[in-house]
Amino acid sequence: MARVCDLTGKRPRVGNNVSHANNKTKRRFNPNLQKKRFYIPEEDAWITLKVSTSALRTINKNGISAVLKKAVAQGYIMY
C-alpha cells in the first residue's frame, strides 16, 4: 500500500536522524495518512480515500466536492 495522499499527493520525504555525536543515518518522514469514507451528495455515493490529516482539515473547511474538483484538476485523482 503506497503512502501517498489521494487528494494532495503528499509522499514520504527523506532526511537524516542526527545523533548527539552528529552521526547521520537516513530516515523517512511519512505523511500522517488516514483511511476515511466520504459521502458525496451530488452523486448520492460513498467513497473511501486515503488522505492526510491536513487534507481532512481542508475538507472540513471547503467541503469534499470542492476539494475533489481541485484534486482532479491537479491530476492527483481520476474521478
Domain that holds residue 35: 13-74
* Within a domain: 2: no
Domains of the chain: total: 1
CATH number for 48: 2.30.170.40
The pTM assigned to this predicted structure is 0.83
* Within a domain: 1: no
> DSSP assignment, residue 44?
T
* Within a domain: 79: no
What residues have CB less than 8 Å from 58, skipping those under 6 apart? 7, 8, 67
Q: What is the pLDDT along the chain (79 residues), one digit of tens a residue?
A: 689 999 999 999 999 999 999 999 999 999 999 999 999 999 999 999 999 999 999 999 999 999 999 999 988 887 6
- Please tell me the distance from the alpha carbon of residue 1 to that of residue 25, in angstroms, as a whole number: 25
Please choose, from the candidates 58, 71, 38, 48, the residue with its C-alpha nearest in 3D space to the C-alpha of residue 1: 48
